[in-house]
Structure 1
Amino acid sequence: MDPIYRALIVCTNHTDYPTKPHKTGLWLSEATHFYDELAGRNLPYDIASPAGGTIPIDEKSIERRDTINEKWSHDPTFRSKLEDSLKLDDVDPANYQIVYFTGGHGTMWDFPNNQALQRITQQIYEGGGMIAAVCHGVSALLNVTLSDGSLLIDNRQVTGFSNMEEKLVRLDEEVPFSLEDALKQRKALYSKGLIPFLPYIEVDERLVTGQNPLSARKVGRKVLEEMYEK
């Protein structure tokens, strides 16, 4: 009998760029592709965000035809969790064995300094759980400290949206900081794929990170493998 794990999927509430007219938010496939892996195991899950309530979705992430996005966008349970997310302040980390930080540029504003997010991540990690993040969602890990005062990502293998990818999507002037540079400044062992925008993940024990939107499914698959097959 497999153990029953519960996952917490964390999304941004932030929508505005400093100068671009279009809105950011969750990059939808980073939630749906990850969850599609979990759904295969019938894992219970909740969706949370810094402010709670409705999760904004980056309009550009809906433009592309994506059967997995369509599948879960039309799923009443998944949709209701996106429309009425839990507030991170109200989340009890003891209920979860997996926390996963989705991306979308919005996360660069409301993830890095959120104290509830840091508390949840620390407690799930120190309780033996899995920490996972993809793309800009990796910004959630920048300031997470453990009980001994060390940074979670210090000397750990990680990836996340690269400087090159940021330039290629022409948003390097919009983001509040460079994710790749910030990870390196905190002494994380940052690496990236040779070709931008192709799936690439890093695994360091109970820490799984993905570089870009196409990495979300691989992150989900790896999380399940680590939880169930070790």
Structure 2
Amino acid sequence: MARWTRLVLRFRWPVLGFWLIVLLVGGYASTRLSPLLQNTFTVPGTDSERARHILEQHFGDRSDGEFLVIYKVRNAAPGMLLELARGTQNAAKAVPTGTATALRVEPGGVVYGSILTRLNLAEAKGYTDDILKRLRAPPGVEAYVSGQPAIQYDLDPIFSKDLKKGESIAIPIALMVLLAVFGLSLAATIPFLFAAATITGTLGIVFIFAHYLTMATYVKNLVQLIGLGIAIDYSLLIVYRFREEL
């Protein structure tokens, strides 16, 4: 430990420069991370997942990027089904590689169809609002958009709001603990410096992994909370060891 400390002190400016680069790169990556995060609706190893892979390999369509368009028809009129089909085809144009399937009619005035895409869940969810804007429903018809991308699109702000609420409770408590231990001194900033370095560095790594692996929507909040917790714990350890040496 003493050797490592002497080495860091000897090359303190390159070390500070390295961590400054980590902060800048990690901070930039964290602002680009949200569109890559998703919550998968499939269970690994199940028959449904194997069927999904077969469809992707042989037909090119991705079930995780498929939208479901649902119409609730109150008073059916002649030519209504043709008009709904045209509305679905128009909505499909909002998505690259989007194609509308034939509509199916169910009892109770329910008509539904799919918009197939070659996009994955993270890419497709961003087109939910565009589909809703292009979806044309005649008078007396209620139109809805569902499917994994649409559900994910609606869940993202809910997850973000709930997790931020948890942070708003946890972080002030952590701040009170730090003030109780360190007081109003410069040492109280040490945990936050550690936290900034670890959180931004980890988010940069998550940004890279998110291009190849499925990363849940709440991974950013977990990184922030765990990073802050580790920073506080390590800072308390250093202070305790320093007091022992004195």
TM-score category of the 2 structures, normalised to the smaller one: under 0.3
The TM-score normalised by the length of structure 2 is 0.22
Comparing both chains, which one has the higher relative contact order based on Cα–Cα distances under 8 Å and sequence gaps of 6 or more? Answer: 2
The TM-score normalised by the length of structure 1 is 0.23
